[in-house]
Amino acid sequence: MRLVKTEKLAKNWPSSIEDTAMSKNPKQQRRPARRRDKKSGQQALALPPPTSNQRKKAGGEEQADYPANPTGEGASIAEMAQVGRNATERMLALHQLISARKYPNTFRVAREFEVSQKTVKRDVEWMRIHWNLPIEYDRRRHGYFYSREVTRFPGVPTVTEAEMFALLVAHKALEQYSGTPFHKPLQMAFQKLTGQLNDTDRYSLQDYESVLSFRPFAPEVADMERFEVVTHAIQQQRALRFLYRKPGEKSAVGRHVHPYHLTCNDNRWYLIGHDVDRSDIRTFVLGRMSGSVVAAEAFQKPKDFSVEDYLRGSFTVMKGKADYEIVVEFDAWATDQIRGRLWHPSQQVTELPGGGSHMLMHLSGLEEIERWVLSWGTHATVIKPEALAQRLGSTARELARRYGEPVEHSSSRTHED
């Protein structure tokens, strides 16, 4: 990557150690002449071809003291930020090489990062002056070394044990994004972050690996191509056209949607958007889209749309049209399972004599809460609304018809403490 450096930045860097170490060779000290760019009017470095002394072999490595790229003025804020990020990476690389007694020099680092040797020399001076690192230059080995032991890279803050454990949690949580375009960039970002830890912290992180794990239940394997089309359409505010099959139906129908938001719930990806043909906001499961997903015309997302407001009344992701006050009674065994967990932002749990409890919630639909209550079996009883109790009663009668006489459930519980 070619970096743009301003003249102002260059003035703030002192002369380098390696320049001093090589001062006996006047040819290596020659400064390239400056010429004026006819188009921009700025002064640029006129780079002469390397001389034989500049190509001299030292320690089996080619030494060159001419810049790898010209400098200029007019760097943007984004370019300046990029320079700062890359400077940290270069200095970290220098620290790691010096700590490993690899005796790096400016030529090797400049070639690796595609910058000039002068830039690397300024990095070395910055590390020596501002971070007080004991960097010296070995004329015999033609590289830098530490004159005393350095145990930590000063450019990285100290990591506490709690922060180390949080890093591990973040690393383990990445597995939930497996099968999506986010997984690889997240892995690379985590590796870059942990790569700046010292050896002791890295070993501590490895020790924690066997302590914690995430076990996502039935994660959905996303179609990568479809996933990327959808995410790009959301970012660029482009309409989507696709075939969609509703649950239980055999055939798919065409949908024309303005995509607003992509969310993952219970390890399944959902698209929330405005269905143009139905003039309503709908929720679509990515796994039930079929055929090619085509980006169409541009649209403007309403400024007042908020996914938090839209899903406020849903139990998970399905939004209804009504306003239900849900009250479910749990026995003592189920109360121990639900205690201390946030099932819904509106929940209110009241402990009852005997160890049971009542949970109150306000929801806009009954489909999702019906499945959830059924998952508790005989440990949950719907108190209100009557409509939910009737739906569960109908399901219970159908189950009794299918399976015959009920059986004792107490012996079928799992061995959970």
| pLDDT tens over the chain, length 417 residues | 333 343 333 344 443 445 444 444 444 444 444 444 444 343 333 333 333 343 343 333 333 333 333 333 444 444 444 445 578 778 888 888 898 899 999 998 888 888 899 999 999 998 999 888 999 999 999 999 999 988 777 766 566 666 666 766 777 777 666 666 677 777 777 766 666 565 555 555 555 566 667 777 777 777 888 888 999 999 999 999 999 999 889 899 999 999 999 998 888 889 999 999 999 999 999 999 988 888 889 999 999 999 999 999 999 999 999 999 999 999 999 999 999 999 999 999 999 999 999 999 999 999 999 999 999 999 999 999 999 999 999 999 999 999 986 556 554 455 455
Do residues 30 and 113 make contact, with C-beta atoms less than 8 angstroms apart?
Answer: no
Do residues 191 and 171 make contact, with C-beta atoms less than 8 angstroms apart?
Answer: no
Q: In this predicted structure, what is the pLDDT of residue 406?
A: 57
Q: At 301, which CATH number? A: 2.30.30
162 Ramachandran zone, left/alpha/beta (phi>0; psi -120 to 50): alpha
Q: At 362, which CATH number? A: 3.30.70
Q: Can you read off the two tokens belonging to residue 100?
A: 């490993």
Domain end, chosen from 310, 345, 367, is at: 310
Indicate the DSSP class of residue 349: E
Coil, strand, or helix at residue 253? strand
Q: In this predicted structure, what is the pLDDT of residue 155?
A: 62
Tell me which residue range forms the domain holding 272.
224-310
My answer on whether 55 and 136 are in the same domain is: yes
Indicate the DSSP class of residue 385: -
Coil, strand, or helix at residue 237? coil
The neighbour count for residue 379, using CB atoms within 10 Å, is 19
Q: In this predicted structure, what is the pLDDT of residue 215?
A: 74
Q: Can you read off the two tokens belonging to residue 186?
A: 């997240």
My answer on whether 17 and 136 are in the same domain is: yes
My answer on whether 132 and 170 are in the same domain is: no
Domain assignment of residue 2, yes or no:
no
Domain assignment of residue 218, yes or no:
no
Q: Can you read off the two tokens belonging to residue 143?
A: 């590289």
- Where b means 16+ CB within 10 Å and e means fewer, 315-327 reads bbbbbbeeebebb
Domain assignment of residue 154, yes or no:
no
Cβ within 8 Å of residue 387, ≥6 positions away: 324, 366
- The one-letter amino acid at 302: P
Q: In this predicted structure, what is the pLDDT of residue 12?
A: 40
Domain end, chosen from 279, 310, 341, is at: 310
DSSP E strand stretches across 49-158 = 57-58, 61-62, 135-138, 143-146
My answer on whether 11 and 142 are in the same domain is: yes
Q: How many domains does the chain have?
A: 4
